[in-house]
Structure formats: structure tokens, C-alpha cells
């Protein structure tokens, strides 16, 4: 095992679970590329951990512009995807906004197997120009958000452990594809993601970066809006979890106020007690665009 100092800890953009990745390829040690916490559902599964390492290695070796190599998913992992899709289909019908449902139709992603990032990025790029690029784990907020300015979404490729198909302590390929990749097939949502990236690029202070991260959290990740008098989700963290979609109706809904959202603290490890709700998709699009363009 290599020294910890030979690795860079990738900071978690969603929760506090850290993933290790090689800072220097010469110091690369595939056995310790991914470090799971003892309370991670896959901690005691040696095969799962080995597979996580192989998938992380794809990301470490990836060079932008190249085809993304296929991840070695097992039949059991494809079953996890099927289980999640079965739980999400009725939840989406009930709770997802029309823009999202149109994107699902447009992309036509498989529900009976995990689509490879390579095939997802081909479809998304053809529609709105966004590309997915694999990352070994969670990356620093500035790196993750700035890449959006270039139409690049940094995506994990592993799937959660099969013992907990409806729970994951960290964002996995289900969240990345069902949440982010699908929304990036919407011209307006893809544009907003790019504008987030550009605003983050212009951010000169840690405080400004934090404010933009919170705005991203309460819109792109956990945004809701009204449609036909009902509350619907456009946030990727909601749309990739049937549990989150149910729980959003118990949250305190505040009118969309991006200045307030930029100051609102949140805990990523629990269902969100406070959500910002736009009066419509159009209001959300216009307000977020204006806010991001005005950040200097």
C-alpha cells in the first residue's frame, strides 16, 4: 500500500465520504484507489471493492476526447438499475416536471441494464452539446462546477452496492445519469449548467464560490417548481431517488429567492427540510439565468 501522502483526497461535493485517487500516476496503487468507510454497504464485499477500483482506474487513465471505456458491471448490478428504474417510473410520472419527462422520452435510455457512459454521452452531446467525462470519485466543488462552463459534466461510473438498491451514501452512476445526464438533454437546463460554470469561473473568493455552490444545490440538485397547481421536481438529487421525490412534499417550500438560497445552509446527508419552489419552469429559468449572468 502506498503512503497516504502520495494520494490526493478528492473532496466530496455532496457528503463527507472521501475517495482517494492517485495524485501521481507513478505512485498509483490500484488496491487503495477507492477507500470505502466501514459503514459503506459495500465495505465487506471484496469483489465489489475490486470492481470499484477497476472503474476508478478507467477515470484516472481517461483522457478528454477519447471514448469512455465500458465499466465491468455484473448481472447483479444491472438488476440494481432495473430495480431503481421500476421504483422511479411511477415516481417520475407523479413528481417530475414536464421538461424532465420530455428529456426522458428524447433520450430513450435503457431501463433493463445500466447504460455505459459512452453511449449516454453520445446521445446527450448530440442533443445539447454536453459531454460526460468519468471521474474516480467526488471532485473539488470548483473543479466540478467550472467544468460545466465547457459543457463537461464530471461523472462517476460505479453503481451503489446491490444490498441497498434504493440507498447510496455517495452519488453513483444512477444519480449522474438519471439525474444529471437526463436534464442535460434539455436545452434550457444545459444552458443554466453552463452559466453556473461560467459564474464559478469568475468567482474570486471562497465565499462567492460557496454562494454559487448553494445556489447550484437548491436549483440544479434540489429545485422544485409549480406546474398545473402541483409541486414538481427539476432537481437531479430529487429525480434520481424515489425516496427524495416522496419526501419533497414534506419539505418547507419557500418562494424561489436565489439571494436567500445562496445563504441557506444545507445538510446533504438527510432529506432536505427546506426547498425553494419556483412559480413555473419559465420563472426558474429566467431568475437563475439573470442571477448567474449578474455574478461578477
Residues taking part in catalysis: 175, 180, 221, 240
Distance CA 266, CA 183 (A): 23
Stretch that binds Fe ion, among 32-40, 109-117, 233-241, 281-289 (CB under 5 A): 233-241
Closer Cβ to Fe ion, 181 or 225, answer by number: 181
What's the grid cell of residue 194?
453552463
What's the grid cell of residue 148?
460545466
Candidates 250, 223, 243; CA nearest to 84 is 243
Instruction: Answer for the pair 117, 157: CB distance below 8 angstroms, yes or no.
Output: yes
CB of 237 to Fe ion, least distance (A): 6
Closer Cβ to Fe ion, 49 or 237, answer by number: 237
CB of 189 to Fe ion, least distance (A): 13
Q: Which residues contact 27 (CB under 8 A, 6 or more apart)?
A: 2, 3, 6, 7
Residues in contact with Fe ion, shown as a per-residue x/- string from 187 to 226 under the rule CB under 5 A = ----------------------------------------
Of all residues in this chain, which one has the CB nearest to Fe ion in the complex? 236
CB of 168 to Fe ion, least distance (A): 12
CB of 13 to Fe ion, least distance (A): 8
Closer Cβ to Fe ion, 114 or 220, answer by number: 220
Stretch that binds Fe ion, among 89-97, 236-244, 251-259, 284-292 (CB under 5 A): 236-244
Name the 3-class secondary structure at 282.
Answer: helix
Closer Cβ to Fe ion, 42 or 235, answer by number: 235
Q: Where are the alpha helices (DSSP H) in the chain?
A: 46-61, 75-95, 98-107, 117-128, 141-149, 173-174, 182-183, 187-202, 206-216, 236-239, 242-247, 258-263, 281-293
Size of the site for Fe ion (CB under 5 A): 1
| Binding footprint of Fe ion on the chain (CB under 5 A) | 236
Amino acid at each position: 500500500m502506498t503512503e497516504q501522502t502520495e494520494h490526493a483526497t478528492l473532496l466530496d461535493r455532496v457528503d463527507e465520504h472521501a475517495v482517494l485517487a492517485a495524485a501521481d500516476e507513478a505512485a498509483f496503487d490500484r488496491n487503495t484507489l477507492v477507500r470505502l468507510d466501514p459503514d459503506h454497504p459495500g465495505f465487506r464485499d471484496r469483489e465489489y471493492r475490486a470492481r470499484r477500483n477497476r472503474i476508478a482506474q478507467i477515470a484516472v487513465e481517461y483522457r478528454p476526447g477519447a471514448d469512455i471505456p465500458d465499466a465491468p458491471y455484473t448481472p447483479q448490478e444491472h438488476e440494481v438499475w432495473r430495480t431503481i428504474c421500476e421504483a422511479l417510473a411511477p415516481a417520475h410520472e407523479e413528481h417530475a416536471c414536464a421538461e424532465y419527462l420530455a428529456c426522458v422520452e428524447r433520450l430513450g435510455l435503457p431501463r433493463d441494464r445500466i447504460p455505459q457512459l459512452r453511449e449516454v454521452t453520445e446521445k446527450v452531446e448530440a442533443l445539447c452539446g454536453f459531454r460526460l467525462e468519468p471521474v474516480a470519485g467526488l471532485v473539488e466543488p470548483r473543479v466540478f462546477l467550472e467544468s460545466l462552463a465547457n459543457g463537461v459534466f464530471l461523472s462517476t461510473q460505479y453503481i451503489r452496492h446491490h444490498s441497498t438498491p434504493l440507498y447510496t451514501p455517495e452519488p453513483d452512476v444512477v444519480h449522474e445519469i438519471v439525474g444529471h445526464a437526463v436534464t442535460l438533454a434539455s436545452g434550457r437546463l444545459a444552458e443554466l449548467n453552463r452559466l453556473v460554470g461560467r459564474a464559478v469561473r469568475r468567482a474570486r473568493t471562497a465565499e462567492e464560490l460557496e454562494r454559487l455552490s448553494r445556489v447550484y444545490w437548491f436549483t440544479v440538485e434540489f429545485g422544485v417548481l409549480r406546474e398545473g397547481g402541483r409541486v414538481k421536481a427539476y432537481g437531479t438529487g430529487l429525480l434520481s431517488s424515489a425516496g427524495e421525490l416522496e419526501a419533497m412534499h414534506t419539505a418547507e417550500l419557500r418562494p424561489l429567492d436565489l439571494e436567500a438560497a445562496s445563504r441557506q445552509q444545507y445538510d446533504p446527508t438527510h432529506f432536505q427540510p427546506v426547498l425553494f419552489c419556483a412559480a413555473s419552469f419559465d420563472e426558474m429559468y429566467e431568475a437563475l439565468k439573470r442571477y448567474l449572468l449578474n455574478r461578477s
